[in-house]
Amino acid sequence: MTRRPTPPLIDISACCPRGLESPLDHEAAQQLASVLKAVADPARLQLLGLIRAAGEACTCDLTGPVGLSQPTVSHHLKVLTAAGLVHREQRGQWAWFRADEERLRDLGHVFR
């Protein structure tokens, strides 16, 4: 496989420094929307809540509470990770996730 050009992680406070207080250009809106889309899903909100409440959580502890199949949960965690909202750490055969508090704060700040 050819190397992907590195996932361009969006910097919220750079792309939308004044949040929704002033108009966004096309690109800024698209970037901000891409992060919001990651969060605008019931399963992913539940996952974020579970991860945050626990400090960190392993996939095996997340599949049960959300009531979805393992591949689906894996998919949602990938989306959250790609958006930079959670970070993944491999420990042996387990994948551990923790929330990026700063990024969540930045996201909340957009609506200020």
The torsion angle over the Cα atoms of residues 30, 31, 35 and 36, rounded to 10 degrees, is: -40
- Least Å distance, CB 14 to DNA, is 22
- Report the residue number, 37 or 109, with the smaller CB distance to DNA: 37
Which residues, other chains included, contact 28 with Cβ-Cβ below 8 Å and sequence gap of 6+?
15, 16
DSSP strand pairing (57-58 vs 86-91): unpaired
- Report the residue number, 15 or 95, with the smaller CB distance to its own copies: 15
- Least Å distance, CB 54 to DNA, is 13
87 binds its own copies (CB under 8 A): no
Rounded Cα–Cα distance for residues 35 and 14 (Å) = 14
Binds 58: which of DNA, its own copies, none (CB < 5-8 Å by kind): DNA
Q: Is 17 helix (H, G, I), strand (E, B) or coil?
A: coil
In the complex, the residues that contact its own copies under the rule CB under 8 A are: 20-24, 26, 29-30, 32-33, 36-37, 39-43, 45-46, 48-50, 52-53, 65, 67, 99, 104-105, 107-112
